[in-house]
Amino acid sequence: MTGSTPPRKGRSTAGAGGVDSEDAWQAEEAAKKSHARAVWGVSFSISLRGHFNSFVLLVLVLFVVLAVSVTTKNGNGAKPQAPTAVPPADDTGDGGQSDLSDCDMSSGRWVYDGTAYPLYKESACKFMSDQSSCEKFGRTDLKYQHWRWQPHGCDLPRFDAAKLLGKLRDKRLAFVGDSLNRNQWVSMVCLIDTATPTLHKSMGGNGSLVSFKINEYNASVDFYWSPLLVESNSDHPVHHRIADRIVSAGSIAKHARRWADADVLVFNSYLWWRRPSMKVLWGSFEAPAEGARRAVYEVTDSLRAFELATKTWSEWLELHVDRARTRLFFMSMSPTHLHSDEWEAGSGNHQCYNETEPIAGEGHRGRDTDPAFARAVEAQVARLGARGVAVRVLNVTQLSEHRKDAHPSVHRRQWDPHTEAHARARDPSSDADCIHWCLPGVPDVWNQILYAHIVSS
């Protein structure tokens, strides 16, 4: 993913009272000359007559020479130059880009910014999810909210809700995928909601589809639950925790009809494939008609099943997407921090519990991040590109790898009644959520990157 940044403005050379350095120098020189005349106590009259005229003219010339001499001595013999503008520090973070071709926004570092971040307050978002509201559920260390992502060589554009809504007027932006994509969708909703307090907004759901509407712009920002992209036995928006996971790798139309008309589509799929093997269904989940052939299951490794599913996804886009109207994005893998020995050797495994600082340095990669799945997506995106369908993969994996401090851990709503006792005891071994992200937090950066691409066109 690429981007660029405009030339940065130099720091102001203005001094106190708003007088710039050149005017200040001129005023100082005039004051010195006036002071020199006052010291000598000289006054002149142009009414002198007769033989005094020549004498007065001579005296006038002498005092002018003396005044210039004093001024030159005090000014070190040279007129000072206006100071050169000093460029601001690289870590301003609020630069904007109109051309994203010269910057890899996935490569950079986290910078603590206690002034400009977070971009909104958790309590200010009327549509915040209990799964992401860590402060509400008892987290008191809020440093995780103040880290800003600083790409190398450019700045990440600051999120501008009004500018985004201008692009989304009479349009639909839809996030399609699993709970990590829902995490990012809630972030986008909060970024818009908190920045536009006077607009009329509403939220409504219909099964797997939840829609956030901004009335004045006739725009919607939607989330559609489809954790494996294709049809599966985990498609119910609430009851989807099924140990024996089955995917119908060749079937996507049932889902696609719910998001096919979107103007901007943001897909993701990864964590639900993280198991040794999957059952792939060749046929329908519907009960077969009398006399019809029974569905056939194939047990295969998860990567192979993922490759089949993303191929079905890409073929659907190739045949049905409006290439002139629809913008397509695929979010890369969201990393987990389930193994604290990855950053703290010999500590046992407390997962991300009580972590308050990012992982230092650059290049960290956890064991749950499998690049083979990324390559499978990139292969299908390249195939689509060759056929005239543009899909941009937004690489958020590496920047998120370092944020072991930014997960809910035990600071979230406990959805299962039997975990309430553990939650009260703050048992990290059973209750720590080291997969999803607190808000405000890391998904806001994902949306800043997404925003940069949406508004750049």
442, two tokens = 């890391």
User: Alpha-carbon distance 29 to 205, whole Å?
Assistant: 73
User: Is 433 a known active-site residue?
Assistant: yes
Query: Maximum CA pair distance of the chain?
Result: 137
Q: Which of 179, 269, 334, 409 is catalytic?
A: 179
SS3 breakdown of the chain: % helix, strand, coil, rounded to 5? Answer: 35, 15, 50
Catalytically annotated residue among 155, 178, 368, 433: 433
Catalytic residue among 240, 255, 411, 436: 436
Active site residue 457: no
Active site residue 436: yes
**Structure tokens that stand for 336 in this block:** 């987990």
Q: Please, are residues 428 and 350 in contact by the beta-carbon 8 Å criterion?
A: yes
CA distances (Å), origin 399, targets 26, 404, 446: 51, 11, 9
**What is the token pair recorded at 457?**
């066109």
Give SS3 for 223. strand
List phi, psi (to 5°) of 448: -65, -40
Residue type, 379: A
Nearest C-alpha neighbor of 192 from the set 176, 168, 170, 171 = 168
Contacts of 380 (CB under 8 A, 6+ apart): 310, 311, 313, 314
- In whole angstroms, give the CA distance from residue 97 to residue 265: 22
CA distance 193 to 161: 9
d(CA 122, CA 441): 10
Rounded Cα distance between 374 and 355, Å, is: 28
Q: CA-to-CA distance for 118 and 159, rounded, in angstroms?
A: 11
Residues known to be catalytic: 179, 433, 436
